[in-house]
Amino acid sequence: MNSRILKKRVALTIASMLTLGTFMGSPVRAEELAAASAEVSQAEPVETTESTTLKVEDALLMALENSFELKIAETEMNNSIMTASQQRTLAKEDANTGIYDADLAIKIAKINREVLPTLAKETYNAKITEVALGVKGAFAEVVFAKENLALARKYKLQADESLAMVKTKRTLGQASDLEVTNTEADVATKASELVQAQITYDQKLMDLNLLMNEPLDKTWVIEDTMATEAVQLVPLEEMKTYMFENHPMVLGSNLSFDVAESTFNLAKGYYPSNVWTYRYAEQDYLKAKYQNQLALLTQEKSLIQAYMSVQGNLEAVKALEKNVSTVVESYRVAKIRFELGMITSFQLNEALLMQQRMESNLANAKRGYRLAIAQLEYISGMEAIKTAE
């Protein structure tokens, strides 16, 4: 810890001792009580080290460049392409040998030679969307943990502030020892919650670093660019059209069906329907057809549900933002009334708990909003939010 911070802490300690001596040595007026409360509120800022600013866009770029999952997926894609290449020798043969099985194998090899590399690339692209979803989700969890950490620090300061005010009230004969004891217990609870919030934030940051293939203990200045005002969702039908035309999971499913259909059509040209080869090809075709239809329908359902989730979470965030402003003002007024002896410490604590509950609800709603956007963009394959001009 540097000398500047140490001097500040010493100064705060001396100021606190002098304030306590004043409380014990002479009667305290309401304005003195307010001054003591304000002094506690002027908390020392948390010491930070030099760190790089990180936005979700930066995290995505680093993950796409460095992710081990994508490196593994890339090797699998290359293996699939090489497997298709190995069939080129067979595919060059003339399918006119007169041996049905051999001729059919040559025809199928030609189809695989054309389709399998594309299918392998779409499988890799689908993995990219999965990694992007993981990064966006992990970033949302880091932002949520950061907000909770900030709230935990704020609530610890408020508990300290309440304790200072209650102790002052006791010197005036306006608060009991039990009220002081209860407030001290609340301070201890808030201190414990602050420690846990810091641990959770560090753990969530480690999760994000792993996805970006960065040192696990690397620290960042997290910058949240999420907007809730003047934003609009891309129309659902527009997203649906884009998804069916471009999403790698949809394209991969279509390609798999195309291979099965082409194979069956070839088999029909060589064998009658009572031959086993024909029957197996027919069942493989029907299975691929139903799987493709199910995949497309499931994708559409997931898109609609994700779209509805974003809409609902956005409305919840907007409503809670207004409510938080109201309860913050209510707590400010309650502090003044407590300092003037108009309400009890219990009533003040009720106002404080209401504020903390609403702020916690808002943080949770923002987390849900971020995760819902990530899911919608994963399902649709495109950016879901645009800022209104």
**Surface-to-core class of residue 244, CB atoms within 10 Å of its CB (0-12 exposed, 13-18 middle, 19+ buried):** middle
In this prediction the pTM is: 0.75
Q: What pLDDT shows up at residue 106? A: 64
Token pair, residue 143, equals 């932002």
Q: Strand pairing of 220-222 and 52-54?
A: parallel
d(CA 379, CA 321): 28
Q: What is the pLDDT of residues 135-182, one digit of tens each?
A: 999 999 999 999 999 999 999 998 998 899 889 888 988 888 898 899
* pLDDT score recorded for residue 86: 65
Dist CA 126 CA 295 (whole Å): 14
**Phi, psi angle pair for 235, to nearest 5°:** -55, 145
CB atoms inside a 10 Å sphere around CB 193: 17
- Please report how many Cα atoms fall inside a 13 Å half-sphere around the Cα of residue 94, on the Cβ side: 3
Q: Which helix (H) or strand (E) holds 386?
A: strand 385-387
Q: What would the 3-class secondary structure string for 72-137 be?
A: HHHHHHHHHHHHHHHCHHHHCCCCCCCCHHHHHHHHHHHHHHHHHHHHHHHHHHHHHHHHHHHHHH
The tokens describing 4, both together, are 């500047």
Query: What is the model's pLDDT at position 224?
Result: 85
Q: Which residues pair with 222 in a beta bridge?
A: 54
Cα torsion through 31, 37, 41, 43, rounded to 10 = 110
* Residue 240 to residue 297: CA distance in whole angstroms: 11
- Euclidean distance between the first and the last CA atom of the chain, given in angstroms as a whole number: 47
Closest CA to 302 of 228, 372, 365, 232: 372
Residues of the chain with confidence (pLDDT) below 70? 1-50, 84-112, 228-230, 387-389
Q: How many CB atoms lie within 10 A of CB 100?
A: 14
| Per-residue confidence (pLDDT) for residue 96, from 0 to 100 | 53
The answer to whether 331 and 339 are in contact (CB under 8 A) is: no
**355/191 Cα distance (integer angstroms):** 18
Give dist(CA 262, CA 277) in Å, integer.
14
Structure tokens at 281: 């090809």
Q: In this structure, what token pair is assigned to residue 29?
A: 């007026």
Say which amino acid occupies 191.
A
- Alpha-helical (H) ranges within 340-383 are 345-380
- Whole-angstrom Cα distance, residue 178 to residue 229? 46
pLDDT digits (tens, 9 = 90+) for 235-256: 999 999 999 999 999 998 998 8
Task: Tokens for 249, please give them.
Answer: 């999971």
> Strand, helix or coil at 237?
helix
Angle separating helix axes 248-270 and 236-246, nearest 10 degrees: 50
Quote the pLDDT of residue 20.
Answer: 36
Q: What pLDDT does residue 14 have? A: 37
Q: 47: Cβ–Cβ under 8 A, 6 or more apart, which residues?
A: 1, 5
